[in-house]
Structure formats: C-alpha cells, structure tokens
C-alpha cells in the first residue's frame, strides 16, 4: 500500500525537526529563572503556571519580562531555523514548539498555557501576523486586566488574522493552537466564571 506522505525516507526530517522544536519548547524558563533568583517554585504561587504572568506575581517585573522574551524565543527560533528547509518545516516547528511549552517532557507534561510561545512562532512566520496578535493581547489585557481573557480572545482571533495576512496553512496552524490554548485555560475559565481569577498586577521590582 503506497504511503501518502512518501514514506519514512521522505518524512524523517519533519519528524526530527518537530522533535527538536518540541524539546526547545519544553524548556521551562519561568521555573528556571525564579529558582535561580531564589524565589522557589513558581508553580506554588498564583495560578501555578510557569509563564510570564505568574512570574510577575512574584513581584519581579524583570524576571517576568525575561520569561516572556525567552518563552517567545522558544517559538520563534525553531521556526526561523526550520524555515531554511521550507514553509512546511516552519509550520511543523512552530506547532511542536508550542506543544512542548504546554506539555513539557521535563515537567511530566504539565507546562504553561502556550500564548507567549505561540506569539513568538507567529512573529517568525510573519511579522504582521505577530504584530496583530500582540496588539490584540495588549489591548484586551489593558481593558480587562485579565491575562487569561487577553490570551483567549487573542488566540481565537489568530486564525482569522493568519488567513487574512498569510494564508490557509498558517491559519490551520493557528486554529490548532487555539484549541490547545483553550483546553489549557480550562482552569482559568472556571475561575473567571466564579469571579476568582487574579488580575494582572504590576510588581515593584
């Protein structure tokens, strides 16, 4: 029976590239930075997330900014490298990097929410797409003061941005990531409905 993708001899670079992107995405920068700063396990405060918003709840804006940039880089760098081997490889790398952040092998597959890493991947795939996604997150975050609402609104608009600014393939990636991010925000949605979701609060450091 013929293999629709051309067999392993053709597909192994995609599997290898996806695995490498996943491993890069799995690096828990928020956890590593807060431990390095002597703040303990960031998973034991706030929402229990390893992302920049929860790191911000330690009161250290510098660490939160560093986490945001590094988590975004986890999405951007694999895409930029993979793009040298074609657009299909870049799409796979972007998706796998986000999956790595959400389900990191180093943390028993319990990771972050994926928004910052998705943003980095979007910027690497198309800077207008990344700019549209970032501007939406900032606008919704400033209006609502909820990181979770900003992420949910933004990620669900991203497939439409991608379709309009880039093309169908990137829109399909954005749609898949939107489903993953929604699932990962299940706890946030429950807290929002109960009125228990913490707002974005800027620290003093």
Question: Which pLDDT does position 49 carry in this prediction?
Answer: 81
Task: Please report whether residue 205 resides in a domain.
Answer: no
Based on C-alpha coordinates, what's the Rg of the chain?
A: 17
> In angstroms, rounded to a whole number, what is the distance separating the alpha carbons of residues 127 and 180?
22
* Among the ranges given (37-51, 114-128, 180-194), the one the predictor scored with the smallest mean pLDDT: 37-51
Question: Which pLDDT does position 8 carry in this prediction?
Answer: 60
Q: Domain span at residue 134?
A: 8-194
Task: Please report whether residue 166 resides in a domain.
Answer: yes
Task: Please report whether residue 93 resides in a domain.
Answer: yes
The string of DSSP codes covering 72-89 is HHHHHHHHHHHGGG-HHH
Instruction: Look at residue 74 and tell me whether its pLDDT is greater than 80.
Output: yes
User: Which 8-state DSSP code applies to residue 200?
Assistant: P
Q: What is the pTM of this model?
A: 0.89
| Region 80-103 average pLDDT | 95
Question: Which pLDDT does position 11 carry in this prediction?
Answer: 76
Over residues 137-186, the pLDDT tens digits come to 999 999 999 988 999 999 999 999 999 999 999 999 999 999 999 998 88
Number of structural domains the chain divides into: 1
Question: Which pLDDT does position 198 carry in this prediction?
Answer: 79
Question: Which pLDDT does position 181 carry in this prediction?
Answer: 92
Task: Please report whether residue 204 resides in a domain.
Answer: no
- What SS3 class is residue 4? coil
| φ, ψ at 176 (rounded to 5°) | -65, -40
Question: Which pLDDT does position 23 carry in this prediction?
Answer: 97
Residues with Cβ < 8 Å from 104, sequence gap 6 or more? 25, 26, 27, 28, 110, 111
Average pLDDT for the chain: 89
Neighbour tally for 186: CB within 10 Å: 9
> In angstroms, rounded to a whole number, what is the distance separating the alpha carbons of residues 27 and 133?
23
Q: What percent of the chain has pLDDT over 70?
A: 93
User: Which 8-state DSSP code applies to residue 197?
Assistant: P
């Amino acid at each position: 029976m013929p293999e629709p993708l051309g067999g392993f001899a053709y597909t192994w670079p995609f599997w290898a590239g996806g695995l490498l992107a996943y491993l890069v995405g799995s690096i828990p920068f928020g956890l590593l930075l807060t431990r390095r700063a002597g703040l303990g396990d960031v998973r034991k405060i706030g929402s229990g997330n390893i992302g920049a918003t929860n790191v911000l709840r330690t009161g250290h804006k510098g660490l939160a900014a560093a986490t945001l940039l590094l988590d975004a880089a986890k999405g951007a760098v694999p895409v930029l490298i993979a793009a040298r081997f074609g657009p299909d490889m870049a799409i796979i790398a972007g998706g796998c990097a986000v999956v790595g952040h959400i389900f990191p092998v180093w943390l028993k597959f319990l990771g972050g929410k994926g928004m910052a890493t998705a943003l980095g991947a979007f910027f690497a795939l198309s800077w207008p797409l990344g700019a549209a996604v970032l501007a939406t997150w900032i606008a919704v975050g400033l209006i609502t003061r909820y990181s979770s609402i900003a992420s949910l609104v933004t990620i669900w608009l991203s497939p439409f941005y991608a379709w309009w600014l880039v093309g169908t393939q990137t829109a399909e990636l954005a749609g898949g990531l939107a489903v993953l991010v929604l699932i990962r925000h299940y706890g946030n949605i429950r807290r929002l409905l109960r009125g228990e979701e913490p707002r974005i609060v800027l620290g003093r450091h």
